[in-house]
Amino acid sequence: MTSPKATAPETTAEVRERARAIPEAAVARLAVYLRVLSGMVEQQVTTISSEELAGAAGVNSAKLRKDLSYIGSYGTRGVGYDVEVLVSHIERILGLTRKHSVAVVGIGNLGHALANYGGFPSRGFPVAALFDIDPDLTGVPVGGIPVHHIDDITSVCAEREVSIGVIATPPQAAQAVCDRLVSAGVQCILNFAPVVLQVPDYVEVRKVDLAVEMQILSFHVARRADEAAGDVVNGVGVDGVVIRP
């Protein structure tokens, strides 16, 4: 990238420096490439070009090559990428060589779905603990894991070395739950509650907000409808000609 002549074996420092420099947007796409590539491995595909992989991942090939260049130069010119090599490098960069135990808090409809979701454990994210505030649920197994009372978050999370907390509680409870997770030492949170969580700087929060997603889609519906209507109605453009392109 910057300097190393020929194929110098990378030092830890170089790998680290490189990881630090990967744009946030590229990280998200690397995860997608990884999933596509895992499918390729299963189909016995051994080599793939940037064009093919890009198509399967829904991006253009220049972007894909740029993204891969952030993690190193592992392709062969004129040929493409070795699927397994790429898989292992992406896994390394994403930190998937270690296991990340997950705790789910809030065992309602969504919590149930998450506890039973096969996509976590199979990808190196074992669900290590479940929590709910309802004492009737305590001890009840969900997806094979017994539910703990929310008051035990600190001890259980520490004991099981939980590194990712998933908040699937009603909005009113989310901030309090978040605070407890943080004081239990959890530094990564995936938040499904429609609330903006306040956390210390060192805690990484990602949110999944269904209503927001819907509203973004709604915006696009509305804009399209406006465009279609406006071109004819408003005297701005006639017979379908858009004046301001």
Amino acid occupying residue 2: T
Q: Which is nearer to DNA, 140 or 222 (CB)?
A: 222
Q: Which of the residues 72 through 101 are near its own copies (CB under 8 A)?
A: 93-96, 98, 100
Q: Give dist(CA 144, CA 163) in Å, integer.
A: 20
Q: Which of the residues 132 through 161 are near its own copies (CB under 8 A)?
A: none
Q: Give dist(CA 181, CA 190) in Å, integer.
A: 11
> Of 4, 16, 76, 155, which lies in the binding site for its own copies, with binding defined by CB under 8 A?
16
Kindly give the pairing relationship between strand 127-132 and strand 80-82: unpaired
> Is residue 198 part of the contact set for its own copies (CB under 8 A)?
yes
* Min CB(30)–its own copies separation in Å: 8
Tell how far CA 47 is from the center of its chain. Answer: 26
> Is residue 209 part of the contact set for its own copies (CB under 8 A)?
yes
Q: Give dist(CA 126, CA 143) in Å, integer.
A: 12
Report in angstroms the alpha-carbon separations of 20 from 85, 94, 234: 21, 11, 51
107 in a known ligand binding site: yes
> Is residue 79 part of the contact set for DNA (CB under 7 A)?
yes
Q: Which is nearer to its own copies, 141 or 224 (CB)?
A: 224
DSSP bridge pairs for 207 = 191
> Is residue 204 part of the contact set for DNA (CB under 7 A)?
no
60 in a known ligand binding site: no
> Is residue 24 part of the contact set for DNA (CB under 7 A)?
yes
Cβ-based burial of 85 (10 A; exposed 0-12, middle 13-18, buried ≥19): middle
Q: Which is nearer to its own copies, 76 or 215 (CB)?
A: 215
Residues at the contact surface with DNA, assessed by CB under 7 A: 1, 23-26, 49-51, 59-63, 65-66, 68-69, 73-81
Binding-site annotation, residues: 106-111
